[in-house]
Amino acid sequence: MDDVVYSRMHEVEDRHWWFAARRNIVRHLLESLPLPPSPLILEAGCGTGGNLQILSELGRVTGVEMTPRAAAMARERGTADVLTGFLPDGMPPLKQKFDVILLLDVLEHIADDVDSLAALRKLLAPGGYVVVTVPAFPFLWGRHDIVHQHKRRYVDSTLRSSIMKSGLRVRHISYYNTLLFPAIAALRIFERFLKNARSLDPLAVPAGFLNRALCALLSSERHVVTRGRLPFGISLLAVAEDTVNG
């Protein structure tokens, strides 16, 4: 993504319903995993650092971000060490192994997803986990994917395949953002027929009550998605572990 998109994300990610709800889901998921006290956490592709605060409340956090401008904004938050690097071959030297590695809507930006997951596998502590979220369903491809420079959208089987080819195994996988799927899917399809697609700006923060309501609705899925499986959704969430140490 370019600096303009990162700047927009930095402006809204602390309050936009989608970012806030994803943080709630991820936090609930991490709290459900059998992690050691004060686990070592790596967020690969931490962007402008919107997740670092909640992660720092759960363990000792390191962030890695490819774009220097985004890494600088994340570093300014002062909640974690943030290094510059990229997957699969440009990760900074990291001496420690991590109990949890997060790729939150990152994998879809990378040409070689399998090698990227394999590179992160080498950074896992014994018994550690890789948590992945990605956009779902190729038929929802649209302007949002183009602006954010996505390479692909996934379905359950393609995400499973990439994880397995990397040497990891799937511990848990589920779609999420299910309750809002009909409305969002309709908008994504409808925007293909609009001459002015900018009228559907996914980074625009809705009015206060609506923003809170959307956040609450998506956040409510955390009670299902971290233990059970939802059959469809705008996004996918997976927890993977090493085939050797898992």
User: pLDDT for 48-74, tens place per residue?
Assistant: 999 999 999 999 999 999 999 999 999
Q: CB of 175 within 8 A of CB of 230?
A: yes
Q: What's the rounded Cα separation, in Å, for the pair 195 and 84?
A: 38
Q: Please give the C-alpha separations between residue 164 and each of 82, 114, 128, 159, in angstroms, as whole numbers.
A: 29, 9, 16, 9
More confident residue, 143 or 233: 233
Q: CB of 46 within 8 A of CB of 74?
A: yes
Domain extents in the chain: 3-242
What's the average model confidence in pLDDT over 166-185?
96
Strand residues in the chain grouped as ranges (E): 40-44, 60-65, 81-84, 98-104, 124-135, 168-176, 235-242
Q: CB of 32 within 8 A of CB of 58?
A: no
Sorted by sequence, the CB contacts under 8 Å of residue 63 that are 6+ apart come out as: 42, 43, 46, 49, 52, 71, 74, 80, 81, 82, 83
CATH number for 3-242 (one of 3.40.1190.20, 1.10.10.10, 3.40.50.150, 3.40.50.300): it is 3.40.50.150
Share of the chain above pLDDT 90, in %: 79
Sorted by sequence, the CB contacts under 8 Å of residue 128 that are 6+ apart come out as: 97, 98, 99, 100, 101, 241, 242, 245
Question: Does the pLDDT at position 188 exceed 90?
Answer: no
Question: For residue 85, what pLDDT is reported?
Answer: 96
pTM above 0.85, yes or no: yes
More confident residue, 224 or 10: 224
Tokens of 80: 């974690």
More confident residue, 227 or 135: 135
Question: Does the pLDDT at position 14 exceed 60?
Answer: yes
Query: Which is nearest to 158 in space by CA: 144, 145, 175?
Result: 175
Question: Does the pLDDT at position 23 exceed 90?
Answer: yes
